[in-house]
Chain A
C-alpha cells in the first residue's frame, strides 16, 4: 500500500477542483435530428452539450430534449454513426426552452461517434487519441452472420478473426494487432453494456479433437446495437490488468422514446459441406522378396516398388467421405421478436429469439433461446439508470473431429481403400460408430448490468456500474453400450457417461466521478476518478461411470470405473484510476490517465502495477486557419500511448501439491503429488503501445480515409521455463522473462461512390499489416518447441510467435529417371530452419453495399489474408504415416509431391507440408428486397424485407490442403495446423424482417 499513499491527496484535489463552481440557473434545449438528404428522422443519434456531461439520445421520431442546461451560450453537438457531427451554438435562457434542429450530412469519415469508456461515460470519438473501430449492426446483413465473431470478420482493421473449423458452433480465435503474449490468452477482453464478462473461448469440458465452444457466441447478434473495438493499450489502458489484447465493447440495443416498435424476423437456411476431399489410395501388388514372396500386398507404394520389394498390380482408391458419407444437409432456423419504445422517463427494448441449427453431422446440433430486456429510466431529474439483462439457454452438441481417432474427417481420410468391406473405408471402425458419440453442453447464462448516472450538477456526474455474469453449464458425454463391438474398443463397448457441472461467475463493480469544468476562456477540463472491483470464479465438478445399462444414458445406470473430481478457480482484482482531459476550443484534446491494480494472481512478493496513458487528438479542419474546401473536408490527427496488462494464471504464483489416491495396505488413502512450482515474484505482463494516425474526409466527406501506425512492446512476458527433470518438480515454472513486439499499419478507405435518389453505392476497403517478433524469452531459456507432432512450431527469439520450424527439403531430383523420388534422391537439411508463421501478416477486405431504387440492397464481403503458412498435417499424416495418399502410392504423382512424402516418411521432416496459406474468400453475399411503403401498408406493417444470403461462397488459394484457415487445435494460443479438421461449410439463408 506504500506506493499509493501519494495518490490520496492528489485525487482529492482533483475531485474537489470543480467544487467551487457557482450555481447557475437552467433552461431546456430540444429539437429534432434528421438526415439532411432525405429529411427522415434519425433515431438513436446523440446530442450533447459541449463542456458538460449532459446529453440525450433521439427518439424514434428524431426528437430529443435536454433539461437542466445552464443558461448562457451553449454549444450543442449532434452525432451518429455514418454522419458528420454537426455543431450549433445557442443561447439558453433561464426557465425557457430553446429549439435546435440538426440536419446531418452523411459522411464517409467517422469522428463523431460515441464510445463507451472504462470510466462509464460515453466519449466522442474525436476526443480519443487512439483509433477505435466501430460497427453498427444496422450496416451488417444479419442473415450472413451467426455470431458476434462473424460480425467482426473483415470489418475492423487490426482485428483478425480466425475461424478454426466449419463445425457448427465451433469457436474462433480473435487477435487484435497480433499476439502479444507468449503464454497467456491472446483473446481480447469482452465488455458488454459497460461490464467485463466471460469470454472463455475453450468452454467445453471435453476434448473432441480440438474444437471448442466460445462464450462470446452466447450473445445474439440480433440484440447488438454496435461493437466498438479498442485495439490495444493505447486505447484500453484504463481497463487495466485484462486489456493488453484490446477490448471488444458490445452495446446491446436500447429503446427510444416513442410508440412501441415491433420487429419480427425469421431465418431459414441450408448448410452444406462443399469440400473436395481427396481419395484414399493403395497400390495392390505382389511381394517379390523374403519369406512372403509371391503373396499379395496392399501397400506396394513407390518406395517398395523402387526397392524391388514388390511388383505393382493395380491402384485401388476409395473416398469414404463422399462414397460412404457422414454428411447431411444441415438446416438453420431462427425465429425472433422484439419490442422497443418508451416515454421520456422510461425506455425499453425487449427481445426473444429461438435458433435451431442442425450441422452437417447428425451429432452436431445447436439450439438456443435468447431473451433480452433492456430498460432505461430517468428516476429523478439528476438520476438515470440503464438496466440490461440477457439470458441464454442452449443445447449444443458437437462431434469429434481433428486430432481424434473418433472423428469423421480423420476416419474418412486415414482409411485404407482396401477396408471398404470391413470398415466402410474408414480408419479403425465404421463411420456409423462415430455418430454414436453424444457430447453436449447445456448452458444457462444470465448477463446483467446496471449503469446508474447521477448528475447533481451539469459539470459533475457519478457513474456506477455493476455487472453480474452467471453461467451454469451442464456438459454431458455419452456413448451407449452395445454400439461398439468389444474387440474394437472394450471401454466404448460397455457404454460410458460423464456429467460435468460448470459454474462461472463474473462480478464487476465500477464507480467513477466525472467532472467537466472551464479553466480559461478556450480551455476546459474533464476529470474522472474511479475504482473497480472484479471477481471471476469458476467451479467445476464432474462424475464419470462406465458399463451402462442398455437403454439408459444416465450415471445412475453406470456399473463401475466411477470417477469424480472438482476444480475451483477464483481471481479477484481491485483497481483505481484517474483521468484528466484538457480541451482547447473543442479542437484539441489531450488526455492523461493512470490506473493502479492489485490482483490475487500476482505473486505475494509483488505489489501494485501501474498503467499510465496519454493521448492527443486534434481536429485540424475546424481550426480557423484551415481553408474550408471540398478536397479535405475533415482532418483529424491523433496519437496515443498507453500501458495495460494481463494477469498471471490462477495458481501460477503458488507452489502446491495435487491430491491423488493411492492404495496402501489394500485401502484407498489420500496422497499428494507435486502440482506446480510457484513463483512469488510473479507480476502481470505489461504491454505499452504507441499509435499515430489521422482521419480524413475527402471530396466533401464522400471519401473517408483512416490511417494508423502502431507499435506495441510487451514486456514481463510470462514464460514457462522448463525445469530440469532431475529436480522432481512440475515440468515448468512461470517467470516474467519475455518480450514481444508487434507493429503495423491499419487503414480504412470508405467511399460513398454514388449517392443519388435511385442508387447509392458504398465501398469500404480495410487493410492491415502486423509484424510480430519474439525479442527475448529470457536469459538461458531454450526455444519453446511445440505444435502438432511435438516439434513443428517454436517460440524462438528473433522470430514471430508460433513460427514453424523444420528440417528443410533442400533439393530433390529423379536422378535415376525411374519416375520415383527415392530416399537418396531427396536432400534434407541437418537442422530445423524457420519456415513461416501461422498468423496472417496482411489482410485486405473489401465490403460493398449497393442500394437500388430504395428497395434493393446488395452487399458483399471479400476477404484476403496473406503472409502466413499452415501445416497441412492431414496430407502429411496420410503420406508419411498411413501411406494412403496418392503421392506415396502412385509414381504418376508430381515429383514435388513425392519428394515431400518421401522426406516425411524417410527423414521425418514435414517441411514439405508447411505451405503458403494465403487466400481470398468471398465470405458473404446478401441481397435484400425491401417492400415499398405502400406494399407494407397493404400488409399492415411498417416495413417488410426479404434477405437472401450466402456465406463461404468461394475460396481462391494455392494451399493444397482442405482449407487454408482452419486449425486442428481450435482456439489454442499458437498451435496451428490443418489436421483432419472440418473445413468451412457453405450456408444459404433466407431471412424475413417485419416491422410493425
Chain B
C-alpha cells in the first residue's frame, strides 16, 4: 500500500498535481472496500462445508462419519484430561450396577448415586453425543437414499440409526425428543417421544436395514444380522418376547458385530478403557448397593474378566482399590454391539415365560458350554428363574449397555421394585445415600427446544 514518492517534476502544474493527489487519496481509501469481494476471501482448508458432502462421492465419508459418531456415543472416547470420554456403556453402567464412580467429579457421582440433576454437564455431553450419532446416521441414510438407496452402506446407516433409538429408549427416561435439521437446513424441533415411540422408530430403521441387506445379498449379511438383533432387542424392550425370539432365531450363533476403536486418535480410543484403566475415574464393581450382581468373581468368570489395577483410583482420598475390566484391555479394543449370543439370550427369555418355565435353561447352558462354564440347574421358583436368567444375561452382556435396560424391564415387566433391582441404601462415600433414579433424565439444555419445553414433559427418571 505504500506508494512510491511523488515525482515533483512529473506534473504539468500544481493544481493538476493537487487534484491528482486527492484522487489518489480517495482511491486509496476506497480500494479496500471496492474490492471487498476478492480481497476478503479466505481459504479454510481444515474443515468440510455442508454442501461439499451432499454428493455420491462423499457416501463413504458420511458412512464413516456415522460409524465414528456412533463409536463415540456408544463406547466413548478419550476427552481432555478425563473430563469427558464416557459413552452409553459407561454411563448406563454407572447408573446400573456395573460401574462405580471413583473420580472427583460430583456430576459423575450424581449418576452413580442415582440422584441426577438435569444440569449435569457430563450427562449433557453423553446425550448430545448420542443425538449426534443419530443425526449423523440419518444424514448418511438421506444421502444414500439420494444416490445409492440399495447399497449395503445404506443398510448399515439404517441399522446404526436404529441402535441410537434403542439406547435413547433403554437408558433415557420416557420423553426424549428427536429433532431434525432438514436438507435445506431448516430446524424441525421434536416434542418428547415416549419410550415406546422411540422403539417404534428403531423398528422402522431396522426393517429398512433388513430390507436393503436382503436385497444386497452376502455383501450385507452382517448388516442384516445387525438389524435383526436390533429389531429383536427393540421387541424385547416392548415385551414382545415371542416376536423377538422369532426375529432372533435367524441370527447365526457365531455372528458378531463390533464397533471398532483404535489407537490412531484419541477420538477413537475405547472410552471404557480410558475412563477405567487409563484415568481411574470409573471402576468396575460387584454387588453395588446390595442389589448389584456379583460380577467380580475369583477366579473371574470368563464373561466378566477383571483384575485389581496397579494404580489407585483418580480420587486418592477414597480407600477402595481401582478394579479394572479386562473385556476391553486397551485403548483400541473394539466393543460388541450385537452378536449371536444376544440372539440366543432373546430366544431363551421368550422361553422363560415370565419365570414359569425352565425351558430357557438348555439355551443358557449351551452358551455356557462355549466358555467352559458348568451347566446351571433349575433354581425352582419363578422369581429365582428370573434372577438366574437376568444374571446370566448380565454376565454375557456385561459392559455393552444392556444392563440398565434390563433393570428397567425387571421393574416394568417382571414386577420388581427399584429397591429390589438397583443399588440402594448407603452410598459408599461417607454420609451419602442412593437416590431414586432408574433412568437418565433429559438434560436441561433441551429446554432450548420449544416443542419440548411447551409439552408437559413426560420424562420422569424415577419411573422405569
**Shortest CB–CB separation between residue B383 and chain A, in angstroms?**
29
Alpha-carbon gap, A663 to B72, bound state (A): 12
Asked if A790 is at the interface (CB within 8 A of a chain B CB), the reply is yes
B46-65: which residues lie under 8 A (CB-CB) from chain A?
Answer: 46-50, 53, 60-65
Q: CB-defined interface of A1-34 with B at 8 Å, one 1/0 digit per residue?
A: 1001001100110011011110100000000000
A-B contact count (CB 8 A): 307
Asked if B195 is at the interface (CB within 8 A of a chain A CB), the reply is no
**Shortest CB–CB separation between residue B141 and chain A, in angstroms?**
13
Q: List 27 A-B contacts (CB under 8 A).
A: A1-B34, A1-B36, A11-B29, A380-B5, A456-B18, A511-B25, A513-B26, A530-B29, A531-B28, A531-B29, A532-B32, A570-B42, A574-B40, A654-B49, A655-B185, A656-B48, A657-B47, A671-B64, A671-B67, A675-B47, A725-B445, A726-B452, A727-B179, A727-B449, A728-B132, A728-B133, A881-B104
Question: Which A residues touch B127, using CB under 8 A?
Answer: 725
Instruction: Given A530-B28, A673-B69, output 13 extra A-B contacts at Cβ < 8 Å.
Output: A454-B6, A512-B25, A531-B30, A570-B43, A598-B32, A662-B64, A668-B262, A723-B445, A726-B177, A727-B135, A729-B135, A905-B431, A908-B106
A280-301: which residues lie under 8 A (CB-CB) from chain B?
Answer: 299
**Shortest CB–CB separation between residue B343 and chain A, in angstroms?**
23
**Shortest CB–CB separation between residue A400 and chain B, in angstroms?**
11
- Kindly report which residue of chain A lies nearest to residue B331, judged by CB atoms: A561
- Kindly report which residue of chain B lies nearest to residue A3, judged by CB atoms: B33
Alpha-carbon gap, A487 to B308, bound state (A): 12
Q: Are B5 and A379 in contact (CB under 8 A)?
A: yes
Asked, given contacts A509-B2, A660-B265, A661-B262, whether A574 binds B47 with beta carbons under 8 Å apart, the answer is no
Stretch at the interface among A165-173, A196-204, A270-278, A460-468: A460-468
Q: Are B121 and A790 in contact (CB under 8 A)?
A: yes
Q: Are A456 and B17 in contact (CB under 8 A)?
A: yes
Question: Which A residues touch B21, using CB under 8 A?
Answer: 15, 19, 456, 460, 462, 513
**Shortest CB–CB separation between residue B32 and chain A, in angstroms?**
3
Asked, given contacts A490-B278, A664-B64, A674-B132, whether A19 binds B22 with beta carbons under 8 Å apart, the answer is yes
Q: Are B107 and A790 in contact (CB under 8 A)?
A: yes
Asked, given contacts A23-B14, A883-B317, whether A7 binds B30 with beta carbons under 8 Å apart, the answer is yes
Alpha-carbon gap, A718 to B48, bound state (A): 24
- Kindly report which residue of chain A lies nearest to residue B334, judged by CB atoms: A663
Asked if A658 is at the interface (CB within 8 A of a chain B CB), the reply is yes
A215-235: which residues lie under 8 A (CB-CB) from chain B?
Answer: none
Q: Are B29 and A668 in contact (CB under 8 A)?
A: no
Question: Which A residues touch B131, using CB under 8 A?
Answer: 725-728
Asked if B94 is at the interface (CB within 8 A of a chain A CB), the reply is no
Partner of B48, one of A598, A659, A780: A659
Partner of B36, one of A509, A510, A574: A574
A663-721: which residues lie under 8 A (CB-CB) from chain B?
Answer: 663-664, 666, 668-675, 721
Asked if A567 is at the interface (CB within 8 A of a chain B CB), the reply is yes
Alpha-carbon gap, A486 to B265, bound state (A): 22
Asked, given contacts A726-B176, A881-B104, whether A657 binds B65 with beta carbons under 8 Å apart, the answer is yes
Asked if A353 is at the interface (CB within 8 A of a chain B CB), the reply is no
Q: Are B430 and A460 in contact (CB under 8 A)?
A: no
Asked if B31 is at the interface (CB within 8 A of a chain A CB), the reply is yes
Question: Which B residues touch A731, using CB under 8 A?
Answer: 128, 445
Asked, given contacts A560-B263, A790-B121, whether A882 binds B317 with beta carbons under 8 Å apart, the answer is yes
Q: Are B50 and A11 in contact (CB under 8 A)?
A: no
**Shortest CB–CB separation between residue B202 and chain A, in angstroms?**
16
Q: CB-defined interface of A378-416 with B at 8 Å, one 1/0 digit per residue?
A: 011011000000000000000000000000000000001
Alpha-carbon gap, A466 to B1, bound state (A): 7
**Shortest CB–CB separation between residue B33 and chain A, in angstroms?**
5
Q: Are A598 and B25 in contact (CB under 8 A)?
A: no
Q: CB-defined interface of A473-511 with B at 8 Å, one 1/0 digit per residue?
A: 000000000000011111100000000000000000111
Question: Which A residues touch B316, using CB under 8 A?
Answer: 427-428
Alpha-carbon gap, A40 to B60, bound state (A): 80
Asked if A140 is at the interface (CB within 8 A of a chain B CB), the reply is no
Question: Which A residues touch B450, using CB under 8 A?
Answer: 780
Question: Which A residues touch B60, using CB under 8 A?
Answer: 664, 669
Question: Which A residues touch B278, using CB under 8 A?
Answer: 490-491
Asked, given contacts A11-B30, A883-B317, whether A511 binds B44 with beta carbons under 8 Å apart, the answer is no
Question: Which A residues touch B261, using CB under 8 A?
Answer: 663
Q: Are B31 and A563 in contact (CB under 8 A)?
A: no
**Shortest CB–CB separation between residue A539 and chain B, in angstroms?**
10
Asked if B455 is at the interface (CB within 8 A of a chain A CB), the reply is no
Q: Are B50 and A656 in contact (CB under 8 A)?
A: yes
**Shortest CB–CB separation between residue A697 and chain B, in angstroms?**
38
Number of chain B residues whose Cβ lies closer than 8 Å to a Cβ of chain A: 101
- Kindly report which residue of chain A lies nearest to residue B50, judged by CB atoms: A655
Alpha-carbon gap, A491 to B280, bound state (A): 13
Partner of B29, one of A1, A576, A666, A722: A576
Q: Are A672 and B135 in contact (CB under 8 A)?
A: no
Q: Are A11 and B2 in contact (CB under 8 A)?
A: no
Alpha-carbon gap, A725 to B445, bound state (A): 7
Asked if B310 is at the interface (CB within 8 A of a chain A CB), the reply is yes
Asked if B267 is at the interface (CB within 8 A of a chain A CB), the reply is yes
Alpha-carbon gap, A596 to B34, bound state (A): 11
Asked, given contacts A15-B25, A572-B42, whether A724 binds B448 with beta carbons under 8 Å apart, the answer is yes
The winner among A510, A511, A723 for most chain B CB atoms within 10 A is A511
- Kindly report which residue of chain A lies nearest to residue B265, judged by CB atoms: A661
Question: Which B residues touch A78, using CB under 8 A?
Answer: none
Alpha-carbon gap, A457 to B17, bound state (A): 11
Q: Are B65 and A673 in contact (CB under 8 A)?
A: yes
Asked if B447 is at the interface (CB within 8 A of a chain A CB), the reply is yes
Q: Are B26 and A11 in contact (CB under 8 A)?
A: yes
Asked, given contacts A600-B42, A659-B47, whether A531 binds B23 with beta carbons under 8 Å apart, the answer is no
- Kindly report which residue of chain A lies nearest to residue B187, judged by CB atoms: A727
Question: Which B residues touch A725, using CB under 8 A?
Answer: 124, 127-128, 131, 443, 445-446
Asked if B189 is at the interface (CB within 8 A of a chain A CB), the reply is yes
Asked if A631 is at the interface (CB within 8 A of a chain B CB), the reply is no
Asked if B210 is at the interface (CB within 8 A of a chain A CB), the reply is no
Asked, given contacts A11-B30, A511-B28, A660-B265, whether A464 binds B2 with beta carbons under 8 Å apart, the answer is yes
**Shortest CB–CB separation between residue A546 and chain B, in angstroms?**
10
Q: Are A657 and B48 in contact (CB under 8 A)?
A: yes
Asked if B217 is at the interface (CB within 8 A of a chain A CB), the reply is no
A586-626: which residues lie under 8 A (CB-CB) from chain B?
Answer: 596, 598-600, 608
Q: Are B30 and A572 in contact (CB under 8 A)?
A: no
Question: Which B residues touch A572, using CB under 8 A?
Answer: 39-42
Q: Are B190 and A726 in contact (CB under 8 A)?
A: yes
Q: Are A511 and B33 in contact (CB under 8 A)?
A: no
- Kindly report which residue of chain B lies nearest to residue A297, judged by CB atoms: B319
Partner of B68, one of A303, A566, A662: A662
Q: Are A568 and B62 in contact (CB under 8 A)?
A: no
**Shortest CB–CB separation between residue B58 and chain A, in angstroms?**
8
Q: Are B46 and A670 in contact (CB under 8 A)?
A: no
Q: Are B1 and A464 in contact (CB under 8 A)?
A: yes
Question: Which A residues touch B40, using CB under 8 A?
Answer: 572-574, 598-600
Q: Are A513 and B47 in contact (CB under 8 A)?
A: no
Alpha-carbon gap, A498 to B22, bound state (A): 55
Question: Which B residues touch A724, using CB under 8 A?
Answer: 177, 179, 189, 445-449, 452
Asked if B260 is at the interface (CB within 8 A of a chain A CB), the reply is yes
Asked, given contacts A722-B448, A729-B181, whether A1 binds B33 with beta carbons under 8 Å apart, the answer is yes
**Shortest CB–CB separation between residue A824 and chain B, in angstroms?**
12
**Shortest CB–CB separation between residue B27 and chain A, in angstroms?**
9
Partner of B32, one of A11, A427, A428, A576: A576
